Structures are given as C-alpha cells and as structure tokens.
Amino acid sequence: KVYEDVADLPSLHYDFVIVGGGTAGNVVASRLTENSSVSVLVLEAGPTNKGVLDAQVPFLSNGVSDTGTPYSWNYTTTPQTGADGHVFDYLRGYLLGGCSSHNGLAYTRGAAEDFDRYANLTGDQGWSWNQIFPYFLKNEQWTAPADNHNTQGQFNPAVHGTSGPIEVSLSGFSWTEFERRVIQTTNEFPNEFPFNLDMNSGQPLGIGWLQYTIGHGERSSSATGYLTPEILRRPNLDVLLHAQVSDMVRPGLVRRIHTAHTAIRHAGTSLFIARASKEIILSAGAIGTPQILLNSGIGDHTALAALGIPTVLNLPSVGKNVSEHAYTGLSWAVNSNQTVESITQNATRYNEAFAEWNRSHTGPFVDPSPGTHAGWLRLNADSPLFNVHADPSPGPDAPHFEMLLQPFGFAGTQGHFVSFTMAMVSPVSRGSVTLSSNDPFAAPVIDLGLLSSEFDALALTEGVKLALKFATAPAWNHDGYLGAPTVDLAAMSHAELLAHVRANSGPGYHIVGTAGMSARGAQYGVVDPDLKVKGIAGLRVIDASVLPIVPGAHTQAATYVVAERGADLVKQTWAL
Ligand SMILES: Cc1cc2nc3c(=O)[nH]c(=O)nc-3n(C[C@H](O)[C@H](O)[C@H](O)COP(=O)(O)OP(=O)(O)OC[C@H]3O[C@@H](n4cnc5c(N)ncnc54)[C@H](O)[C@@H]3O)c2cc1C
C-alpha cells in the first residue's frame, strides 16, 4: 500500500527498508515481496506519479523533468570547466518511479562489451552480457507501437522479452519524410553509417530505430510496471511517500546498519526512524545514494572530518568516479513543414494532437522527444586521438558516440528544423558528488567532470564531424530538403569547432559510478559484486550508482538489470 503520512504506516520495523522508490528501488521492492514471508518498506522522498499527466504522456515528458517542476530535485552542477565553465541544471526524478517516471523514455541496453567489462572489473561473470541478458528479457514486455504499423525490418524480436513489467515499443507516430531520409542515408553511406536492425542485441553499432519504454501510447515506468495495483495490495509491501532519508547510522552504532533516519521533506524536524531487521537497501540514485552514505559517515575520512561528520567507515570511493555523457546539438532548417515544430509552434494542431491522445492514445503525443533513430558510432581505428589517450571504449563493438536523429530543432525560433545531436558516450572524464555541509538535507555538490578530459572534447569534436558528414548524404540534399544550419559548423576550423563543442555541450543525465562495484578485496570501489557495501554488514546499494563506468547507452535499461539481478542476489543471501 502507498502511504502519504508516516502516522498511517502500520509499522516502522520491516525485514528490508529500501531507500528510494525510483527506477531500481521499485524493482527490488516488487521482486522481494513476491515472497510473502518478507516485509518491505520503501521510503520515497517525492510524491506519487499517479495523476501526473506529464509523467504519463510521452510527448509531455519535458514538463515533468524540467527544473522548476515539483517532480524534479532541481539540482545544479558546479561550473564545468571542460564545458566553458557552464553551470547546468541537473535533472533527477522526484516522484515515485524516480527518473523512470520523467526520463526521455529511450530504451537502449548498451554493448555486450559494456557488461563484459563490468564482469572483468568485478571478477564476477554474473555481470557479463551473457548472464545479464536473461534479466533484460525478464524486465521487458515488447509491445506493438501505438499506431500498430508494420514493424518488420525495424527490430529483432529474438532479442526481446515478452512478459516482463516494462513495456517497450517502437515509435507510435511516423515522421515519414524524415525517417525515409535517415534510412536512405544508411544506404548511401553504408560504411560510416550502416543500418542496424536492433541496437539492443548487444551489438549496437550502426543506425537503427529507437525503442521506447512506452506501451499503448503511455509511459511505462518502474512505478507503473513494478508497483501495479495488484502488487501494491500485497500485505508485505508498504511505500511511504514524502519521506526523505537523511542518514542511517546512530552514534555508537557501527559496522551493522539497521536504521534509517527519515524526515518528511518539508518539515525537517519531524525525524523518525525506520528499522530493517535484514538489510537496508539504498536505491536513491547516483546522487542520493552517495549523499546518504556520506551523511552516515561512510566515505572519505578526510572530507568527512572537514565537515565535522564522524567517520563510521573510511571508504574513499563514495561519491567519486562519476561518469556521464556529454551531448552537443547540430540543427538545420528544413524546407518542409513535417517536423515536430508543426505541433509545438501551432496551438491548434497542438490541441488537436493532445485531444487525439486523450481520445485514443494515438497521434504525435504517443512519442517523446529523443528522436526517431539513434546511431552508435566509433572513432576510426587509426585515429590519432588514441595517442592522446588509450581507447576508453570497452571494445571494438562498442560505441564512442551516439548520434540522435531528431525531426525538430533547438533554436527556439519559428520555423522547421532537424537535429543530429552528437554525444561522447565512452568518456575518460570523471567527476564527483560530495557534500556541501553537514546538513543532511542540503543539496550535494555535483561535479560531472564534463569534458574535463582533453580526449573527450577532442573526440566529441570528431563526433560532430561525423554528424556533419551524415548531413552531406544525397538523401538530405538532392531535393533541397536540408537548408541552412543554425550554426555553420562545416565552415569552422578544427580549433573553432573544438571551442564550439566546449561552449555548447551539456549533460545527458546518465550519471553513474558514485557507489561503484569493484572486485572483492579491491582497494577502491564502494560495493562488492554482490552489491553489499564493502566493510559493513546489512547494507546494499542497488541502483545506477553501482555501475563503475557509464555504458554506451542511455542508462535506464542497465539500471533495470542491475535491479533485477540485485533482487536475486538479496534473495540468495536470505534464501528467499
Ligand atoms: C531528464 C532525464 C532524461 C533521461 N532520459 C533517459 C532516456 O531517455 N533513456 C534512458 O535509458 N535513461 C534516461 N535517463 C537516465 C535514467 O532514467 C537513469 O539513469 C535511471 O533511471 C536511474 O535510476 P536509479 O534507480 O539509479 O535512480 P532514480 O530513478 O533517480 O531513483 C532514485 C529515487 O530515490 C529517491 N531519493 C533520492 N534521494 C532520496 C532520499 N534521501 N530519501 C528518499 N528518497 C530519495 C528519488 O526521489 C528517486 O525516486 C534520463 C534521466 C533524466 C534525469
């Protein structure tokens, strides 16, 4: 059952207390309570996802994620020196379902080599692609797109699950003219931009149709998929909203964590204590989780001491090792009115499209904004950049770049545009999440380290050149479709392009690594391969923070499989 007020909770003592009802937390809660003998409490800082239209209608997803909405944590980053000192709003979901309730809905798993690298880093083959693959299937329910179009040749059914909680589908509204040109480019430039039938097969390289966590025209999230009304009727599962956890350790209580201090967010004085007899599971995400660990005295001893926080466990890697993708957009005006601007810049069509969604869950509102296709691309094998830094990708079948192909622009001006947005998805740069004070409710200090490595900035510049190459295909130019670029990048020198990249890149909201997995006994890392926090009993982390390196993909699918396997690891420990 979902509770809004702690006074209504039947108990404050459970077998498992899960901190954060986000993407991962709800998976773990749902899986553990399959066993009726265990009791689980989920503590979520934000409100319910129920009735939040922007969290339901894919086209409106920006309305729930943007800074300033009541459904976002409204963080900002430190000035990012690699990105011209810009300070970015850093979006994180503040509602049941966490980021899965407000993200861009793109469903991308990453390369097999991403997971094989996790297995090698942790010494646990359970994280390898082959052993993780069944968890992708367990999480997924492949679903027909909202327009029921013929999807043959747009995906490979053999690599998809059919009965999991999260609905995944291809786009349910066609921007036909744009899509046709994308596919035509793969025919015209098959060496640089080959067509890939399914980017989620473990072999993502090439250009393929994007898949989304959408079913029947609506967002599918960990809240809708893993906390269905039926699951919430389980007597052994309680979810408390508006409960922001501050820390876990009471003075004098060391090496065995079993309490979580929580406060109603807007009344910080009303602290109460939830108790777990088996484990506390931190699923507060890659920012919330290290913040709670640090608040609890688990982290770098020197940094904790500087803030007057007594060290419970000196674990220097907590909050370090942030890896994140850097994106930069390239837009062109087009001689066509078949772009998303035909809806966003026309109130009548916008209202019609919204009415259609309300009526039948069809039309343009069934899709979000990432784009129609994505390309997963690499630097040339003989690129001189590999003299600057060794190849940071996990292998030759994994990408350095993502190129999002979007039938809309970012200029904010009237007109019709398309964008080929480029991202560096195998970054060398690392950042950190640290505390700003010993007030557990103060916002943490988020340094993404965006483009702080010279290699990343140089590589992204090469990526932009790839996008410029894509735009030279006859498919875009033979009939004058592609007009003027919003910024003439093709005319720039290499140095100018590099400066442009630094000045115009932003984060992908794919932060991981702040409670990274490492091999048992390693002198770095935060959790062992079984996701137990090193050196302390009764405490696990199950969320995106455990991924030691960001995969070459948007991160929700990887988070879901971490959570599915994490739940199994908990079950194994307790023979559930
Ligand atoms: C704007 C945006 C767009 C994105 N787009 C995509 C996309 O298109 N495709 C994709 O694959 N990925 C996308 N991502 C990334 C992806 O959604 C995340 O990597 C993933 O969902 C993270 O899951 P998580 O469980 O680690 O954290 P979250 O889902 O963030 O869950 C953490 C939960 O813990 C709660 N919490 C935090 N601190 C506390 C506390 N102290 N006490 C109690 N509760 C707390 C939060 O409110 C939240 O509900 C996007 C992310 C954002 C922000």
pLDDT in tens, 263-293: 544 344 467 788 888 999 999 999 999 999 9
pLDDT in tens, 77-134: 999 999 999 999 999 999 999 999 999 999 999 999 999 999 999 999 999 999 999 9
Class level of CATH domain 142-218+323-507: alpha beta
168 labeled binding residue: no
Asked if residue 27 has pLDDT above 90, the reply is yes
Express each pLDDT in 202-221 by its tens digit: 999 999 999 999 999 999 99
- β-bridge mates for residue 279, sequence order: 16
Place of tokens 């480019």: 185
**Distance (Å) from CA 150 to ligand 1 centroid:** 33
In the chain, the percentage of residues whose pLDDT exceeds 90 is 89
Element containing residue 444 per DSSP (H, E): none
Tokens, residue 121 = 């880093």
pLDDT value at residue 62: 86
Supply the Cα-derived Rg of the chain in whole angstroms.
23
The secondary structure of 107-132, three-state, reads: CCCCCHHHHHHHHHHHCCHHHCHHHH
User: Going by CA atoms, what residue is nearest to atom 27 of ligand 1?
Assistant: 285
How far, in Å, CA of 266 to CA of 419, rounded? 41
Percentage with pLDDT > 70 across the chain? 96
Ligand 1 pocket test, pick from 96, 102, 103, 402 with the greatest ligand atom count within 8 Å of Cβ, gives 103
- Whether residue 257 is predicted with pLDDT greater than 70 in this model: the reply is no
The atom number, within ligand 1, closest to the CA of 213 reads 9
Write out the DSSP string of 538-576: SEEE-SGGG-SS--SS-SHHHHHHHHHHHHHHHHHHTT-
Per-residue confidence band for 537, with pLDDT thresholds at 50, 70 and 90: confident
Quick one: pLDDT band at residue 7, thresholds 50, 70, 90? Answer: confident
Q: Ligand 1, closest atom to CA 262?
A: 42
Picking from 317, 318, 276, the residue whose alpha carbon sits closest to that of residue 296 is: 318
Q: Which of 223-237, 271-285, 348-362, 505-519 has the lowest mean pLDDT?
A: 271-285
C-beta of residue 23 within 8 angstroms of C-beta of residue 17: no
Average model confidence (pLDDT) for the chain? 94
pLDDT at 238: 97
Q: What band does 252 get if pLDDT is binned at 50, 70 and 90? A: very low
Q: How far is the CA of 284 from the centre of ligand 1 (A)?
A: 8
Identify the DSSP state of 200.
T
CA distance 262 to 436: 19
Return the pLDDT at 261: 57
Ligand 1 mean position to 93 CA, how many Å? 5
Nearest CA to ligand 1 atom 8: 104
Pocket test for ligand 1, best of 73, 77, 555 (most atoms within 8 A of CB): 555
Task: Give the per-residue pLDDT at 260.
Answer: 55
The answer to which of 48-57, 403-412, 428-437, 465-474 has the lowest mean pLDDT is 403-412
Q: Residues enclosing ligand 1, CB less than 6 A?
A: 19-25, 43-46, 65, 91-94, 98-100, 103-106, 108, 244-245, 283-286, 288, 292, 370, 509-510, 543-544, 554-557, 559
More confident residue, 12 or 500: 500
pLDDT number for residue 256: 41
Complex ipTM value = 1.00
507 beta partners: 326
Dist CA 276 CA 571 (whole Å):
15
Mean pLDDT of 306-325: 96
Candidate of 435, 556, 562 to mutate for ligand 1, largest count of ligand atoms within 8 Å of Cβ: 556
Residue nearest ligand 1's atom 31 by CA: 22
The predicted structure's pLDDT at residue 247: 86
Residue 90 CA to ligand 1 centre (angstroms): 11
Task: Give the residue numbers marked as catalytic.
Answer: 510, 554
User: pLDDT for 376-414, tens place per residue?
Assistant: 999 999 999 999 899 999 999 999 999 999 999 986 788
Give the residue-averaged pLDDT of 337-343: 95
Statement: residue 250 has pLDDT above 70:
no
pLDDT of residue 393: 98
Residues 500 and 238: their CA atoms lie apart, in Å, by 50
Confidence of residue 441 (pLDDT cuts 50, 70, 90): confident
Q: What is the identity of the amino acid at 1?
A: K
Indicate the SS3 state at residue 489: helix
Instruction: Say yes or no to pLDDT of 369 above 90.
Output: no
Nearest CA to ligand 1 atom 9: 106
Best residue among 23, 52, 65 to mutate for probing ligand 1, ranked by most atoms within 8 Å of CB: 23
pLDDT of res. 271: 72
Q: Find the mean pLDDT for residues 161-168.
A: 98
Q: Confirm if 556 and 511 have CB atoms less than 8 A apart.
A: no
Interval between CA 70 and ligand 1 midpoint (Å): 15
For residue 255, is pLDDT > 60? no
Q: 3-state DSSP call for residue 530?
A: coil
Q: Which residue has the higher pLDDT, 251 or 506?
A: 506
Sorted by sequence, the CB contacts under 8 Å of residue 521 that are 6+ apart come out as none
- Residue 15: its H or E element: strand 13-19
Distance from Cα 308 to the centre of ligand 1, integer Å: 29
> Domain residues of the chain, as ranges?
142-218+323-507
Q: What are φ and ψ of residue 491, in 5° steps?
A: -85, -5
Q: Could you tell me the distance, in angstroms and rounded to a whole number, from the CA of residue 556 to the centre of ligand 1? A: 8
Residue nearest to atom 20 of ligand 1 (CA): 556
pLDDT at residue 251 in the model: 38
pLDDT digit string, tens, across residues 474-488: 999 999 999 999 999
pLDDT at 270: 60
